[in-house]
Amino acid sequence: MTDPSETGHDGPDPGLSAITGERRQLIHLAYRLLGSLSDAEDVVQEADTRWYALTPEQRADIASPGAWLTTVAGRICLDLLGSARARRERYTGAWIPEPLPGSAEWVSVRWGVSVADPADRVTLDESLTVAFLVVLESMTPAERVALILHDVFGYTFAEVAEVVGRTPGACRQLAASARRRLRAPRSAPDPVERQADLVNGFKRAWEAKDIKALVGLLDPRATMTADGGGQAGAALRPVVGAERIARHMLGIAARVPGLTVREQTVNGRPGLVALNGGITVTVAAFDVAGGRIRRIWVVRDPAKLRPWRRWPEPDAR
Helices 242-255 and 192-207, interaxial angle, to 10°? 50
- Pick the range with the lowest mean pLDDT from 4-8, 59-63, 239-243, 299-303: 4-8
By the 10 Å C-beta count (0-12 exposed, 13-18 middle, 19+ buried), 199 is classed as buried
In this prediction the pTM is: 0.84
pLDDT band at 17; cut points 50, 70, 90:
low
What would the pLDDT profile of 117-127 be if each residue is shown by its tens digit? Answer: 444 556 667 88
Partner residues linked to 299 by β-bridges = 227, 283
Nearest-angstrom CA–CA distance, 196 and 265: 9
Phi, psi at 220, each rounded to 5°: -55, -30
Burial letters 88-102, b for 16+ CB under 10 A, else e: eeeeebbbbbbbbbe
157/106: higher pLDDT: 157
What would the pLDDT profile of 285-310 be if each residue is shown by its tens digit? Answer: 999 999 999 999 999 999 999 888 75
Instruction: Report the pLDDT averaged over residues 280-288.
Output: 95
What would the pLDDT profile of 242-278 be if each residue is shown by its tens digit? Answer: 999 999 999 988 887 788 999 999 999 999 999 988 8
Q: Are strands 279-289 and 269-276 parallel, antiparallel or unpaired?
A: antiparallel
Domains recognised in the chain with CATH numbers: 11-182 (no CATH), 192-310 (3.10.450.50)
By the 10 Å C-beta count (0-12 exposed, 13-18 middle, 19+ buried), 61 is classed as exposed
